[in-house]
């Protein structure tokens, strides 16, 4: 037996009614409120939920504080499956209401894919009602919080908008503008990290203290999954993680921030623009992990030079292959650098490293037994910066 949805129809500004003819005549009732709108499908006679062979259909949008976005189970499932790249959730909700209304008119609730009956007068009334509802909602939405929520493509825009509007202190909106990496941590990290960070943010702690607290919570969480034996290396990882949180843009997902940094980098190499910033984090995350080679790899000059070189020339390596090919490409280049023991310098040319490293790998793969690196490989990725053996210093 179907249960009635606990969403009482309310309106204090305007009430819109659209009659929907069909096999089971129904009506769409829209109540415009001071902070949003309530939308219900009801039968024309009794006022019970329309489409008795399906779940009741209702939607409540409260866009002012306190934000409340609730829907019937059937409609909530469709909203959760919405792809943000196809448009805003608000536009999607109105399009969904229009589609359900057309299904009700056709009397085919169980088969929305079939052709729908055409009623020009009813469709015109539906267009006017939904256009009036959209204008009403847009006039009441918090534009600043709405724009900030749209920047974080990897987060739920509904939940982010609700968090920004309901936060009367404005601290979450400040993080969204100035330190997006911390806001991503607050909203997407595990509860053991997110809840203490949210309390610290709402308590008004300064950004420097928030970064220190975030690194402390992240270190406790990361130490359980990926322990590091060297205390000195762990301190370096914490310092690098602090730079990553401070420099991460709104398009950087939490998955790129939760694992320890793959290698060393200079904070000045991280681009500020949102697309380039997200691409830098994705490329650096594709670096081979030091633990894949040996426990002491992270302390070698070869490893530090390689990771810093990739972080500096991220534009070249990101354009050299598709994103799904970054990890195997960088793994091949690291094999070459590790085998030749060449310490890359930031002034070296990335094109030379790419050409020489791939050529070395192809020769190694074609041979039945390991081959000796060529003279160019032994001296580094280019003739311009070949190294000469140093002369021993005279004894004093």
Q: Could you please report the per-residue DSSP string of 95-140?
A: HHHHHHHHHHHHT-TT-TTSPPP--HHHHHHHHHHHHHHHHHHHHH
Query: Which pLDDT score, from 0 to 100, does residue 228 have?
Result: 61
Q: How far apart are CA 143 and CA 137, in angstroms?
A: 11
Residues 6+ apart with CB under 8 A from 342: 302, 377, 378, 379, 380, 381
Query: Which pLDDT score, from 0 to 100, does residue 57 have?
Result: 72
Query: Which pLDDT score, from 0 to 100, does residue 154 have?
Result: 87
Q: How far apart are CA 294 and CA 265, in angstroms?
A: 20
Query: Which pLDDT score, from 0 to 100, does residue 109 have?
Result: 41
Q: Look at residues 91, 66, 92 and name the one whose alpha carbon lies nearest to residue 79.
A: 92
Q: Look at residues 214, 223, 204, 220 and name the one whose alpha carbon lies nearest to residue 180.
A: 214
CA angle 356, 359, 364 (to 5 degrees): 125
Q: Is 0.85 surpassed by the pTM of this model?
A: no
Q: In this structure, are residues 140 and 14 in contact, taking their beta carbons and an 8 Å threshold?
A: no
**Tens digits of pLDDT across the chain (396 residues):** 233 334 445 566 788 888 877 666 777 888 898 888 888 877 655 444 444 444 567 888 888 888 887 777 767 666 666 655 556 667 777 777 777 776 656 544 444 333 344 556 777 888 888 888 888 888 888 989 988 988 998 888 878 898 999 998 999 999 999 999 999 999 999 999 999 999 999 999 999 999 999 999 998 887 666 666 667 778 888 999 999 999 999 999 999 998 888 878 988 999 999 899 999 999 999 998 654 444 455 558 888 899 999 999 999 999 998 899 999 999 999 999 988 888 999 999 999 999 999 998 888 766 544 444 443 344 444 444 444 444 445 554
Query: Which pLDDT score, from 0 to 100, does residue 91 have?
Result: 74
Q: Could you please report the per-residue DSSP string of 278-342?
A: HHHHHHHHTSPPGGGT-TTGGGSHHHHHHHHHHHHTHHHHHHHS-GGGHHHHHHHHHHHHHHHT-
Query: Which pLDDT score, from 0 to 100, does residue 367 have?
Result: 56
Query: Which pLDDT score, from 0 to 100, does residue 354 have?
Result: 92
Query: Which pLDDT score, from 0 to 100, does residue 314 have?
Result: 94
Count of all residues that appear for the chain in the document: 396
Query: Which pLDDT score, from 0 to 100, does residue 11 have?
Result: 63
Q: In this structure, are residues 24 and 51 in contact, taking their beta carbons and an 8 Å threshold?
A: yes
- The strand pair at 36-43 and 26-32 is best described as antiparallel
Q: How far apart are CA 390 and CA 100, in angstroms?
A: 78
Residues 6+ apart with CB under 8 A from 138: none
The 10 Å Cβ neighbour count of residue 392 is 6
> Coil, strand or helix: which one is 156?
coil
């Amino acid at each position: 037996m179907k249960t009635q949805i606990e969403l009482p129809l309310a309106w204090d500004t305007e009430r819109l009614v659209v009659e929907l003819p069909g096999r089971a005549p129904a009506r769409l009732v829209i109540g415009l409120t001071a902070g949003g709108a309530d939308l219900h499908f009801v039968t024309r006679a009794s006022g019970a939920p329309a489409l008795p062979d399906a779940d009741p259909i209702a939607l409540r949008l409260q866009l002012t504080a306190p934000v409340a976005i609730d829907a019937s189970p059937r409609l909530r499932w469709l909203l959760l499956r919405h792809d943000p790249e196809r448009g805003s959730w608000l536009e999607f909700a109105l399009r969904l209401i229009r589609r359900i209304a057309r299904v009700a008119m056709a009397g085919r609730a169980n088969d929305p894919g079939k052709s729908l009956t055409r009623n020009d007068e009813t469709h015109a009334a539906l267009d006017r009602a939904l256009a009036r509802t959209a204008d009403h909602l847009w006039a009441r939405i918090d534009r600043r919080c709405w724009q900030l929520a749209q920047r974080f493509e990897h987060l739920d825009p509904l939940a982010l908008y609700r968090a920004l509007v309901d936060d009367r202190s404005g601290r979450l909106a400040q993080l969204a503008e100035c330190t997006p990496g911390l806001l991503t941590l607050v909203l997407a990290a595990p509860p053991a990290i997110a809840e203490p960070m949210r309390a610290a943010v709402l308590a008004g702690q300064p950004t420097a203290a928030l970064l220190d607290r975030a690194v402390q919570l992240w270190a406790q969480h990361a130490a359980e999954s990926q322990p590091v034996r060297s205390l000195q290396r762990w301190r370096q990882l914490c310092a690098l993680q602090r730079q990553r949180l401070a420099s991460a843009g709104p398009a950087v997902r939490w998955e790129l921030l939760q694992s320890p940094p793959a290698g060393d980098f200079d904070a000045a190499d991280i681009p500020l623009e949102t697309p380039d910033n997200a691409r830098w984090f994705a490329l650096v995350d594709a670096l081979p992990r030091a633990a894949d080679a040996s426990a002491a790899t992270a302390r070698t000059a070869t490893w530090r030079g390689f990771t810093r070189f990739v972080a500096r020339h991220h534009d070249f390596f990101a354009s050299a292959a598709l994103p799904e090919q970054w990890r195997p490409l960088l793994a091949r280049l690291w094999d070459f650098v590790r085998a030749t023991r060449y310490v890359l310098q930031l002034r070296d040319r990335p094109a030379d490293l790419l050409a020489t490293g791939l050529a070395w790998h192809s020769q190694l793969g074609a041979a039945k037994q390991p081959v000796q690196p060529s003279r160019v490989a032994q001296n580094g990725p280019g003739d311009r910066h070949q190294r000469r053996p140093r002369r021993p210093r005279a004894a004093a």
